[in-house]
Structure 1
Amino acid sequence: MSARLQDQTVLVVGRGSGIARAVVLAAREAGARVIVAGRDQKALAKAYAGLEVSAEYVDLTDEESIAALAERLGAVDHIVSTASARARGLVGSLEQAVVRVSFDTKVIGPILLGKHFGNRIREGGSLTLFSGASALKPVPGMLAVAATNGAVDVVVKALAVELAPVRVNSVSPGTIDTGAYDALGDEKKATLFADRAAHNPARRIGRAEDVADVVLFAMTSSFVTGQNLGVDGGEPLV
């Protein structure tokens, strides 16, 4: 892969595994200096040990920690927020606190990233958020997730206008094999994946690397802003 991010600083908010890790590795391969941030700084440092990636603390539900991170880091070129909070469940079982944390983490937190980092993102830089295919095609048990993702799509358009010329986009994964489905157990996970792979137009399940490729595109495509970039194998179409 060409060094499209050579000498640029990329901040990735999220975990040390799955899509966040794939984004970190793709950015490093593209030449970037990468900083990872999350609520468990020690775990992040351990997860990325030996990769020349520095780890910082941030809690997207706490504005003070976001402001403090911005003060510590100063100028950056790109920010990618992959953070989310599980809010699955049928409407009859959803708890207000769970829904609120989902919004705080994936919607309000990224707005505050824009607030505190907007004037620290260098010329040509970007902010990439994460939505999801459920915003386009909700299924039972995914009401709060769909609502959160739909809100992200609106936030992206508004921030693209307010933070211009900083580019703001969202990446919207479909069914991606990142370990997020492991809790179903091997048999149920295999059945779910087989069914979705049989019906989506791409005829396979996505990989974390598929998502990272699109995040890299969002960071390096200087004429793309205010967009929701689907990485879902056409899943919402069927």
Structure 2
Amino acid sequence: MSTASASNVFAGQRTVVMGGSSGIGEATATAFAADGAEVVITGRDREKLDVAVARIGGSTSGVQLDATDPAALAAFFTATGTVDHLVVAVSGAAGSGAFADLDLADLAHGFDAKFWPQVRVLQAALPHLRKDGSVTLITAASARAAIPGTAGLAAINGALEAMVPPLAVELAPLRVNAVSPGVIDTPWWDRVPSEQRTALFDGLAATTPVGRVGRPEDVARAIHMFAANTFVTGVVLDCTGGANLPTGR
């Protein structure tokens, strides 16, 4: 994504990207920084944060933070000050597998790694969010994809998505939305052996209307839109390249 921008639509505003040291989070931070925002990214790995800050450029800083730690979250938002836009890209990988054999402890860990941190982040941030600012959660298309082996992931992401409309009403005029990505080529997939990952991506590309898997920048543009468009709230936006459509292909 280009680091040059003519609009500076977020000039003078502060954006916090929780989980911003790689993938979708880093691409999102880059988009906001390119449009003039002061950007704060968080993550657990200090080295990854420093490298990401250097890549993002602009007025960007990185804070080492464990999003599962309520006390650390409270201290972070108190120190950060007023936040205009909050993006919660905290994620995890646990909770997948055939339901008959699904390890319920693993599913619980999946909730602990994604659902509860996103909820805790939003609660901790509320006193510091601009009254009419924005919050964007990052869920996943598994919430509604009906793919065998993803019931656990559907539960985690579906729970987050179910909260978006009532939160948009309860917390108004703060705007609350979510982006629901499909398969995006990010470091999240590094756990899959290279040849297997390539075969998976090629297969998905062949059956997806846009003919490819997603890139972090695709999701970042959707998040950017939610923050910039002050007339959109309570929306869960699919960012899947049409993979969720019943095309009959």
TM-score by length of 2: 0.88
2:50 is aligned with 1:57 = no
- Structure 2 counterparts to residues 128-207 of structure 1, below 5 A: 128-207=136-215
Match of 1:237 among 217, 221, 245: 245
1:6 alignment partner in structure 2: 11
Match of 1:30 among 32, 35, 45: 35
Structure 1 stretches (4+) deviating beyond 4 angstroms?
A: none
Residue identity (%)? 39
TM-score by length of 1: 0.92
Which of 192-201 and 22-31 deviates more?
192-201
Which of 211-220 and 82-91 deviates more?
82-91
2:94 is aligned with 1:94 = no
Alpha-carbon shift at residue 55 of structure 1 (Å): 1.4
Matched residue SS, 1:35: strand
Distance in 1 (CA, whole Å) between partners of 2:45 and 2:229 is: 31
1:47 alignment partner in structure 2: 52
CA contact (8 A) 2:135 2:175 kept: yes
The C-alpha deviation readout for 1:147-169, integer Å capped at 9, x for no partner, is 11101101222221221111010
CA contact (8 A) 2:90 2:117 kept: no
Alpha-carbon shift at residue 92 of structure 1 (Å): 4.4
Unpaired stretches in structure 1, ≥5 consecutive residues? none
Alpha-carbon shift at residue 89 of structure 1 (Å): 2.5
Count of residues in Structure 1 that have an aligned counterpart in Structure 2: 238
2:21 is aligned with 1:16 = yes
Distance in 1 (CA, whole Å) between partners of 2:87 and 2:244 is: 24
Amino acid in the other structure paired with 1:74:
G
The C-alpha deviation readout for 1:13-55, integer Å capped at 9, x for no partner, is 1041111110111110011000011223453123323624211
Going from structure 1 to structure 2, the CA distance change for 1:159 and 1:105 (only over 3 Å counts) comes to farther
Going from structure 1 to structure 2, the CA distance change for 1:139 and 1:46 (only over 3 Å counts) comes to same
Distance in 1 (CA, whole Å) between partners of 2:188 and 2:46 is: 21
Matched residue SS, 1:127: strand
Matched residue SS, 1:48: helix
Going from structure 1 to structure 2, the CA distance change for 1:141 and 1:63 (only over 3 Å counts) comes to same
Distance in 2 (CA, whole Å) between partners of 1:6 and 1:15 is: 19
Which of 76-85 and 42-51 deviates more?
42-51
Amino acid in the other structure paired with 2:203:
D
Amino acid in the other structure paired with 2:201:
F
Distance in 2 (CA, whole Å) between partners of 1:23 and 1:12 is: 8
1:77 alignment partner in structure 2: 84
Unpaired stretches in structure 2, ≥5 consecutive residues? none
Alpha-carbon shift at residue 102 of structure 1 (Å): 2.2
Which of 218-227 and 189-198 deviates more?
189-198
The C-alpha deviation readout for 1:182-225, integer Å capped at 9, x for no partner, is 33323222221122111122222111111100010011110111
2:226 alignment partner in structure 1: 218
